[in-house]
Structure 1
């Protein structure tokens, strides 16, 4: 296997931090806020009902699946309308959601490993989610963040990967995409011509998944971001610190 790594594109949710605790916090915090500011909405849309409404909104608006912020705002708008609430509450309610969405707890290895990786090669976030790396406090490790909302299409669309490569100024075959999702991250990036690293973290039972597809296969597979940082450290001659550097030699 021969290829240089001159830049990395990195998924966020379930790669740097688990999303499930964030989702649970969003539901709890938003419901508590509605109890205080719009009790009728909270009564008509308790957590499970609000979740069902959100899922229906997502199903009814597939053209917005690249824009999770728009779908969340639409969910809140419908809940407020149907409960007869003051629609002036829409933007404050959305801000409550968005603040909770950006209260992330990174995996124990993630921040130190990210800093090590970013010291080796330029790193760009490529995400279908709507996390704000500035709010979270991690933007200093990234050259930029490209979200599906900004781009107009979501992973596994080849376009979003290639747009990130263009902004990095690095050919796709010299960019390593790192993410947890088999299809959205690894298969999508591979089909766009990038190299791929499957971050296959242990589940709650301490197990890791087996790769399900005969083709394409990930170029690399690790169960922590630290392992990727270690791997890059073990091959310093093959990772350019500056994307404008001459192409790095192939490694084996």
Structure 2
């Protein structure tokens, strides 16, 4: 597939601009250290490997109405841990603050900042995420004209509404907007079903073939954001 004229670009955040798993692992380590220091009776419940991740998953299973609201799930699981050992649940918010600061301490993929510099000079950029990262804290926000998160907007990818809102934010038609992301169903299928163009970002370096699911909408596949810049640059001669 070749891209049609592109007037604006929306980008996913986690696993598109930075690896998600390491940032969450660092955040849970920071949260555990904070809890043990300020609520020492939690240490016994947090001694097992991945204790905080498992406790959060258990809380999500018990509260399906909160699925996708990562802030509420983390706050609830922290409160539950504190209460279960007799610690003050008023510590929930400062504990979460420690977690959230570390969660936004991300390491951008090597191609990202050079690519955002190139893209941001040529297109309005909008961040579209189902996660809870904050570009004001991660860095990189200067390249974006705006951001939409599922929790704040009230709809999550692959819902067409969040893609259409991104196009409105950039003042373009959905068909003139290109969405870029790593998740095939959320980003590619979601965007193309909403009438956007899509670029599937597949950061694989093992030489394996990339099989495209049969449910694929029309899209391009790129291995990094600089690859996308080259593709767009060939179109406009830059």
Please report the TM-score for the alignment, with normalisation by the length of structure 1: 0.88
What is the match of residue 192 of structure 1? 194
Q: Deviations over 1:14-38 (max 9, x none)?
A: 0000011112111211111111111
Alpha-carbon contact 1:124-1:145 (below 8 Å) kept: yes
Q: Which residue of 2 aligns with 1:42?
A: 43
Q: CA deviation at 1:129?
A: 0.7
CA RMSD of superposed structures (Å): 1.7
* Counterpart check, 1:93 vs 2:95: yes
Match of 1:235 in 2: 235
The higher-RCO structure (CA 8 Å, 6+ apart) is 1
Unaligned regions of 5+ residues in structure 1, if any? Answer: 240-252
- C-alpha distance in 2 between matches for 1:113 and 1:176: 15
Q: Does structure 2 retain, via aligned residues, the 8 Å contact 1:26–1:97?
A: yes
The DSSP-based 3-state class of the residue aligned with 1:235 is helix
Question: Which residue of structure 1 aligns with residue 225 of structure 2?
Answer: 225
Deviation at 1:207, TM superposition (A): 4.1
Structure 1 residue 88: deviation in Å?
1.9
Residue number among 166, 180, 183 corresponding to 1:181 in the alignment: 183
1:1-252 correspondence runs (5 A): 1=2, 3-46=4-47, 47-202=49-204, 206-207=206-207, 210-236=210-236
CA distance in 2, matches of 1:144, 1:70: 23
Which deviates further from its counterpart, 35-44 or 88-97? 35-44
Deviation at 1:4, TM superposition (A): 1.1
Cα displacement (A) at 1:89? 0.9
Structure 2: gaps of 5 or more residues: none
- 1:200 and 1:208 in contact (8 A); partners too: no
* Residue-pair matches, total: 236
Q: Supply the distance in 2 between the matched residues of 1:13 and 1:125 (Cα, whole angstroms).
A: 11
Q: Deviations over 1:118-145 (max 9, x none)?
A: 1111110000111110112211100101
Structure 2 counterpart SS, 1:120: coil
- Comparing 207-216 with 139-148, which one deviates more in the overlay? 207-216
